[in-house]
């Protein structure tokens, strides 16, 4: 039995992991699907005071409260920032770190650092125009979702706290690399905002060589879109089970 901590990306909530949680439970594992402050069922807490550190504290707090040791931390999309921070601050609590089509930053980068200027400017403008400094979700079609899956995600998505977007993250790459890592590359269709990350995770020089060293890293491709926990949960769980 392994403890999995599942952290959603922007605009989502713990709800998006439902199909993954059910399958992990069926295999005898425990799964903790966090919902970050200000989104999902915690949307009533949306505030301009929410920062990247708020969301990091959400996850470290869950790990502490559940007294987890040897957990597999699974982070999706934006939450790659959070997973990197958690692995830097409490590596001894993690068995494996799984980036699911996620941001993998360099020290000092923010979530927005690797995105195109047009996307960055549009999100910042939307946040500035809102009452609570948040920006709205995109159409789930960009995640490769259609039909019932598209409708489910579209009605569940909520605006995302804007001050998480440009917040830089400082961390020690070697300390993070001491945690075994898997990057799940979702390829059909590829989400444009992750394009800059794909070559990084295949580059042995990334993090000045620390990425390819440490406790080891692998890249797994899934022929699905950016929300594999929705579109291909069985295939994603098969990858996660290998990390247990």
Cα angle value 54/169/4 (rounded, 5°): 60
Q: Which tokens sit at 87?
A: 């692995």
Q: Which tokens sit at 171?
A: 């961390």
CA distance 203 to 135: 32
77 carries an active-site annotation:
yes
The 3 state secondary structure assigned to 117-156 is: HHHHHHHHHHHHHCCCCEECCCCHHHHCCCHHHHHHHHHH
**Residue among 77, 110, 112, 231 flagged as catalytic:** 77
The DSSP symbol for 33 reads E
**CB neighbour class for 48 (10 Å; exposed up to 12, middle 13-18, buried from 19):** middle
Residues noted as catalytic:
77
């Amino acid at each position: 039995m392994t403890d999995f901590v599942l952290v959603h990306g922007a605009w989502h909530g713990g709800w998006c992991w439902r199909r993954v949680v059910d399958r992990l439970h069926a295999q005898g594992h425990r799964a903790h699907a966090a919902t970050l402050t200000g989104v999902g069922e915690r949307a009533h807490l949306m505030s301009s005071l929410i920062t990247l550190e708020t969301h990091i504290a959400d996850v470290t707090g869950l790990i502490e409260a559940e007294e987890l040791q040897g957990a597999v931390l699974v982070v999706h999309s934006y939450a790659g920032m959070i997973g990197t921070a958690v692995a830097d601050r409490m590596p001894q609590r993690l068995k494996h770190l799984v980036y699911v089509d996620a941001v993998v930053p360099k020290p000092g980068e923010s979530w927005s650092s690797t995105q195109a200027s047009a996307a960055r400017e549009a999100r910042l403008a939307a946040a500035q125009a809102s009452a609570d400094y948040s920006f709205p979700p995109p159409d789930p079609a960009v995640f490769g979702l259609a039909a019932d899956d598209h409708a489910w995600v579209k009605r569940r998505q909520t605006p995302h706290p804007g001050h998480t977007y440009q917040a830089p993250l400082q961390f020690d790459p070697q300390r993070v690399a001491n945690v075994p890592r898997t990057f799940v590359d979702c390829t059909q269709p590829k989400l444009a905002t992750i394009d800059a990350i794909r070559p990084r995770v295949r580059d042995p020089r990334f993090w000045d060589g620390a990425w390819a060293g440490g406790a080891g890293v692998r890249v797994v491709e899934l022929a699905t879109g950016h929300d594999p926990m929705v579109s291909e949960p069985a295939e994603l769980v098969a990858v996660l089970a290998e990390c247990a």
